[in-house]
Chains A and B, each alone.
Chain A
Amino acid sequence: MIIAADHLSKWYGHVSGLNDVTVSLPEGITGLLGPNGAGKSTFMKLVTGQLRPSAGSVRVFGEPIWGNPAQYRRLGFCPEHDAFYDHMTGVEWVAALARLHGMDDDAATAAAKRALEAVDLLDVGHRKIGSYSKGMRQRVKLAQAIAHDPQLLILDEPLSGMDPLMRRRTIRLIKEWASAGKSIVVSSHILHEIEAMTANIVLMHNGRVVAEGDVHQIRALIDEHPHRVWIRAQDPQAVARTLLARLEPSRGVADDVASVRFEEGAVVVETPKPDAFYARLTEIAASGEAGLIEEVTSPDDNLQAVFTYLVKP
């Protein structure tokens, strides 16, 4: 195991940031998934030795990390916050931080250029960071994390602020690093981002690990809980009738609706089988048999709602 947390807790005064977490992260890519405030960043700061555990312990490569700076030779960290020495150019900044790993000037500059090339920033490496877009700033942070060629990368929300194309490019890059033998812990609050990178996911909520393992198991876990769909339509009653009219177990197609209730101008349906339900709803909308369906949203797309389901007693 690359990282092992044992009953790890962190309190900020009276506020709990991480609560009795015991988890082991293997080599390869591990996704930390959870809504904002779940404890992902706290966990990453503990793993990178920036915070000291309030209780329990965390070991990286089998050694404690707090007060053990030698560990940082094997570790690269990309923080979530948008902080830089803005007056420096991309090359200067990455090279300056690489120099802190003991490289001489030439080696550090070469390493900086390699890292910037890896994140497609070499062509703007001579520009001051203050002039970079949000996506470029995210990438230059990734560059400083990989410049010294670490064995373990801790990436806190690395895709935040990137455009779809760069997002896809970065995901591919992370997977390439993993293929090259690096271990990567990456956090996000967006399920499909994590799914695109790894099947190994740790779900966090309210400072706790609520589930861990293969993404399909987690998918299944989520699927075990009713999924709520909010449908705004011209005639909500007609939509509800259509959905319920086909509630005929004998035909074997109606077990995708668990309950129905009305709100102003909309109908809210709970479904235990979201995939099947969405497929049938698309058919109904396309046939027009229940009138015009204006908007379909699912609060469950917000990860927070999934976790509320998961931790509900």
Chain B
Amino acid sequence: MSGPLLGPARRMFELALGEMLWGRRAVFMGLAAGAPILLAVVARLTLAGGSAVLVVNGSRIDSEAMFGTAVSLLYLRFIVPALGVFYGTSLIAEEIEEKTITYLFVRPMARGAIVLGKYLAYLVCVVAVVLPSAALVFVIMVPFASIGPLFGTVLRDLGVMALGLATYGALFLWAGVSFKRPLVGGLIFVFGWESVALVLPGYVRRLTIAYYLQPTVPGVATLLAVAIIALFLAMQTIERREYVLEQ
């Protein structure tokens, strides 16, 4: 990588952050963050309507258990990887597809700074959307009396979500700078491979990100390592690779 990184990366970050928050894909992010809040409001109103529990598939679950389910199934197994795939792969790949990458490549900054700035913008953007969403779902669903006892768990959940967003994002950013159609492969990885591998016996599940996001698995170091390595590889790849924009 040539030239200084941090200054150009900061300038790139500011440009990319606006692009992410107000571009076309912001609608998807709004849906991903807003739908759980809406569901939480519905669930809360249902609970407030006299029933102390909600019946799901014949099982009765209370609001605290519902929040736990929302974190593990909705956020960690769907929203976090989905945002990671859609945004991670599009950070560079969409600029190439739309041919706007040209405007970035002819600026006096290392290409690695473009990747770093865009990645940081992605991270700030998704964290700024997903974490408040999950936090709101928490206060909506869980009765005030239970907020205190569950506070530690929620803090950990929010941390795990941020870590998941960082790791999925970096991994698919690397895929985005390396392959031509990264989105399809990313979706297959997240919703195909990870779903299958997690239920397979043995060590196969360790080849997923989702495994390290489980509360019982001490995966912080692994997730951080994957995120840093993937980001580094993405920066290296974009420096070396040439992108032929189809006319």
Whether chain B is bound by chain A comes out as yes
- Is B105 in contact with A73, judged by CB distance below 8 angstroms? no
**Number of residue pairs across A and B with beta carbons under 8 Å?**
80
Given known A67-B239, A70-B3, A73-B108, contact A97–B247 (CB-CB < 8 A): no
Listed residue (A48, A75, A85, A144) with the most chain B CB atoms within 10 angstroms of its CB:
A85
B2 within 8 A of A: yes
B245 within 8 A of A: yes
- Is A50 in contact with B106, judged by CB distance below 8 angstroms? yes
- Is B247 in contact with A81, judged by CB distance below 8 angstroms? yes
- Is A83 in contact with B23, judged by CB distance below 8 angstroms? no
- Is A100 in contact with B244, judged by CB distance below 8 angstroms? no
- Is A97 in contact with B107, judged by CB distance below 8 angstroms? yes
CA distance A96 to B22 in the complex (A): 14
CA distance A112 to B244 in the complex (A): 28
Interface size range of chain A in the complex: 20 to 34
Within 8 A of A (CB), among B14-50: 14-15, 18-19, 22-24
B104 within 8 A of A: yes
A52: chain B residues within 8 A (beta carbon): 242
What distance in Å separates the Cβ of B25 from its nearest Cβ neighbour in chain A?
A: 11
Beta-carbon nearest neighbor of B110 in chain A: A69
Q: Of B22, B102, B108, which contacts A69 at CB under 8 A?
A: B108
CA distance A99 to B11 in the complex (A): 7
- Is A85 in contact with B19, judged by CB distance below 8 angstroms? yes
Interface size range of chain B in the complex: 20 to 34
A144: chain B residues within 8 A (beta carbon): 103
Q: Of B2, B15, B239, B245, which contacts A100 at CB under 8 A?
A: B15
- Is B14 in contact with A99, judged by CB distance below 8 angstroms? yes
Given known A99-B14, A100-B11, contact A75–B245 (CB-CB < 8 A): no
B98 within 8 A of A: yes
- Is B11 in contact with A102, judged by CB distance below 8 angstroms? yes
- Is B3 in contact with A97, judged by CB distance below 8 angstroms? no
- Is B247 in contact with A69, judged by CB distance below 8 angstroms? no
CA distance A150 to B69 in the complex (A): 57
B104: chain A residues within 8 A (beta carbon): 100
- Is B247 in contact with A49, judged by CB distance below 8 angstroms? no
Given known A12-B244, A100-B15, contact A72–B106 (CB-CB < 8 A): yes
A267-296 CB contact bits vs B (8 Å, 1 = yes)? 000000000000000000000000000000
What distance in Å separates the Cβ of A237 from its nearest Cβ neighbour in chain B?
A: 45
A250: chain B residues within 8 A (beta carbon): none
A97: chain B residues within 8 A (beta carbon): 15, 103, 107
CA distance A80 to B102 in the complex (A): 10
A84 within 8 A of B: yes
Given known A12-B244, A69-B107, A96-B15, contact A79–B8 (CB-CB < 8 A): no
Within 8 A of A (CB), among B106-148: 106-111
A172 within 8 A of B: no
- Is B99 in contact with A101, judged by CB distance below 8 angstroms? no
Listed residue (B14, B102, B104, B109) with the most chain A CB atoms within 10 angstroms of its CB:
B102
- Is B242 in contact with A87, judged by CB distance below 8 angstroms? no
A77 within 8 A of B: yes
Q: Which 8 A-B pairs have the closest CB atoms?
A: A83-B99, A100-B107, A72-B108, A77-B106, A81-B99, A73-B108, A96-B15, A83-B100
20 cross-chain CB contacts under 8 A: A50-B102, A50-B243, A69-B3, A69-B108, A69-B110, A69-B111, A75-B106, A77-B102, A81-B102, A83-B99, A83-B102, A83-B103, A87-B24, A96-B14, A97-B15, A97-B103, A97-B107, A99-B11, A100-B107, A101-B107
- Which residues of A does B touch, CB under 8 Å? 12, 41, 48-52, 67-73, 75-77, 79-81, 83-85, 87-88, 96-97, 99-102, 144
